[in-house]
Amino acid sequence: MISIITSMFVGLLGILLYLIIKYPDRSIGTNARPDLTGPKGLPIIGNLLEIRKKELTNFMYDVLMEYGPIATFTFPGLGRFITINDPESIEYVMKTNFDNYIKTPGGRVRLLDLLGDGIFNVNGQMWKFQRKLASHLFYGKNFREIICVVFEEDTKKFLKIMEEKVNSGEIFDLQELFYRFTLDSFGKITFGLDFNCLANLEKPVPFAAAFDFAQAVINRRVTNPYLWKFKEILTKEGRKMREACKYLSNFAYNIIKQRRNDPEALKDTRDILNLFMNAEYENGEKLTDKELRDIILNLIIAGRDTTAQELAWMMYNLMVNPTIEEKLVKELNSLLSEDNPIPKYDDIKQFEYTQATFYETLRLYPAVPRNVKLCLKDDKLPNGIPIYAGELVNWSSWATGRDERVWGIDAKIFNPERFLGSEDGLKPSQYKFTSFNCGPRLCLGQNFATIEAMTLATSLLRKYKFERMPGQKSPPDFGVSLTLPMKDPLLVKVHRRN
């Protein structure tokens, strides 16, 4: 018996030594890439410990700043990452040879219980089908007749809440209010559903709490690719995750059920949910309730989270940059008045400094801080660097926005005027300014998000000044999520402007 145990131990030790020799500085299963620079990893586990210590977005930033614009690292269970940070390479991957770089199967599995087969979690024909239908929401006529009408209605509600908070002197979380605003607006525009978040400030929003929790759990799965399924079976977090996903699914199914039971509502051709419910595949079949559920939750993550977070980051940067705020308010006073306190659709383009401030916020605080694709066939980047089938190509909008090689020596400084005095125009190349993604996957809702943020921000900042409460970290940390929320509440007081 002892000899058997000894033999097994010696055998395992031999296998371990073999793996250490074969993978001396990278994760198991990856090929050596001596032609690329990057942080040296540990035998078998590669850069696992560094990534877990720093968080993936921060780790990628450090790698690109030290080794970029193209670098590499490895992670067990995921493989070798080729991290790119130059606009030419990003354009090649996201446009020129788009079909060779797809969403990763592992990433799809991690997102499956929340996003299912929705637009953010599929490739190929299913993605094209959903994107084509969703694009109908963003026609110019819809902006005038539906979208901007809702934005104006909810902005009036938000301004009324600000007046109450001025009178009470209350300290409150501004980011939380922005979440309520965007969820209310998007629910009405997309599903004809009023979440009543702004009408019931004293009540928590169960949908939002479940959604935020599920996103945080999914983000943590990235750094635990082997064991997250087993861990979630056994832990309290896993049980809570299953409950959250069940709640979100039931919520979406109830929306679908109510719509099916209302034939008159189904006739509204401007409603995006109706477009999907009435759509047919090439074989004549309609979408199932499960497919509609996935689409609803994917749309909400785009319509609620991203704009609310950008508004919060924008307000923070204005509070810590009073000179920029002063210039912005000067523009608002020249274009708005007591008789015209909320801009109309055709007025938005006049607010150039405000829009530049919003884009500068997106540059430094992109709603989706990183992205990754799987290479299907051996390929070469424009600079001649090979990418082999099975390797992962990733980039970080967070890092790109802070890279002096891309944005100049003041890349880390919040400066809206870079968008006004630049030869690129108000919004530069999408492969340099990747905050709305780029190529065929360019964000359908970029104008929607911009107009929503501009409508609320212009109306709000003309009338009110925000005071950030002391004791908060500056700049704030971002939270663990699929997107880029502030980790902690943005605690403020609001005052009327003189």
User: What does the pLDDT look like over 306-349, one tens digit per residue?
Assistant: 899 999 999 999 999 999 999 999 999 999 999 999 999 989 99
Residue 459 banded pLDDT, cuts 50, 70, 90 = very high
Q: Is the pLDDT of residue 6 over 80?
A: no
Q: pTM of the prediction?
A: 0.92
pLDDT score at 422: 65
Question: Strand ranges (DSSP E) for 101-199?
Answer: 101-102, 172-173
Please tell me the distance from the alpha carbon of residue 418 to that of residue 360, in angstroms, as a whole number. Answer: 8
Please tell me the distance from the alpha carbon of residue 361 to that of residue 378, in angstroms, as a whole number. Answer: 37
Strand 371-375: give its sheet, edge to edge: 70-75, 79-84, 392-395, 371-375, 101-102
In 3D space, the residue among 406, 322, 418 whose CA is nearest the CA of residue 361 turns out to be: 418
pLDDT score at 421: 72
Between 109 and 376, whose confidence is greater? 376
Give all domains of the chain, ordered by start, each with its CATH number. Answer: 31-496 (1.10.630.10)
pLDDT score at 221: 85
- Mean of per-residue pLDDT scores for the chain: 90
Percentage of the residues of the chain whose pLDDT score is greater than 70: 98
Strand duo 392-395 + 464-468: pairing: unpaired
Residue 357 has a CB neighbour count (10 Å cut-off) of 29
148 is in an annotated binding site: no
Written as one letter, the residue type at 86 is D
Identify whether the C-beta of residue 369 lies closer than 8 Å to the C-beta of residue 484.
yes
Dihedral sign for Cα atoms in the order 49, 50, 54, 55: negative
- Residue 352's alpha-carbon distances to 321, 462, 464, in angstroms, are 18, 15, 20
pLDDT score at 245: 94
Find the Cα–Cα–Cα–Cα dihedral 69, 75, 78, 80, rounded to 10°. Answer: 40
| Phi and psi torsions of 430, nearest 5° | -65, -15
Percentage of the residues of the chain whose pLDDT score is greater than 90: 59
DSSP state, residue 136? G
**Burial of 236 by CB count in 10 Å (0-12 exposed, 13-18 middle, 19+ buried)?**
exposed
Sole residue written with tokens 């006004």: 420
Cα-trace Rg, the chain: 24
474 token code pair? 């500056």
Between 192 and 88, whose confidence is greater? 88
| Phi and psi torsions of 227, nearest 5° | -115, 0
DSSP state, residue 143? I
Between 451 and 140, whose confidence is greater? 451
Q: Is the pLDDT of residue 491 over 70?
A: yes
Q: Is the pLDDT of residue 139 over 80?
A: no
